[in-house]
Amino acid sequence: MDKEYFKKILNTFNIELNEEKLNKFEIYLNELIETNKNFNLTRIVDEKDVLEKHFLDSLIINKYINSNDKVIDIGSGAGFPGIPLKIFLDNINILMVDSVNKKVDFINKIISELKLENALAIHERAEDLAHNIDYREKYDVAVSRAVANMSTLAEYLIPFVKIDGKIIYIKGPNIKDELNNSKNAINILGGKIEYIYEYKLPNLEQIYNIIVIKKVKSTNSKYPRKAGIPNNNPIK
């Protein structure tokens, strides 16, 4: 891993990593690229692209998460943003959730190799897990880089968060219509949009967005609806 390049792009967002954490990212990078040869974890396999579009893009939201927060990452895939956040923010307690078992196995392998404490990945669907009292409204922060629309993401994420907690989406460009179409769903589910942060990744002109939602009231027990419905028929 080109550590100097990684430190340079992190510095663009005032993020600093010590040598121990840089080494953990290097192990993660190597395992990701090697495992991806046999199982499709990600389409992004060029080293610099992984550093920019996966690692840096995950770490940018660190400023919205406090030390010792209990965090849930829905649709974590190969561990984004959960693993980079856990490497950087040692004291958070993080659960990563994905519906693809091989991806969950990969994340847990990384957790073990990097000796990350208070971190776990589980094979579940968000629609089912959110009705389990051990998980419902138990988290300070819910995050997702998933590609679902914002209404669907709201139904996946908001039920997991305590009142006064945060829901964080990492989204691409051109979100105006999607944002407007999701406001009613966010309100119904107990959330309120707090702010939107626009940013550009190094070497890319494309604008990305972070949407931060505050949980202001408890979510009605009928949400989320059964598996598949939030994606196929989002709340209007």
Sorted by where each begins, the domain ranges of the chain are 1-124, 128-236
Model-level pTM?
A: 0.95
User: 207 pairs with which residues across the strands?
Assistant: 200
How far apart are the C-alpha atoms of 140 and 68, rounded to whole Å? 9
Topology of domain 1-124, CATH: Rossmann fold (3.40.50)
- Comparing 53 with 25, the larger pLDDT belongs to 25
> What confidence tens digit (pLDDT) does each residue in 172-226 have?
888 888 889 999 999 999 999 999 999 988 877 788 999 999 999 999 999 999 9
Cβ contacts of 131-137, under 8 Å, gap ≥ 24 = 131/159, 131/224, 135/72, 135/95, 135/160, 136/160, 137/161, 137/162, 137/163, 137/218, 137/219
Asked if residue 236 has pLDDT above 90, the reply is no
The CATH code for residues 128-236 is 3.40.50.150
> Is-same-fold flag (1-124; 128-236)?
yes
> What confidence tens digit (pLDDT) does each residue in 14-52 have?
999 999 999 999 999 999 999 999 988 888 888 999 999
- Sequence length of the chain is 236
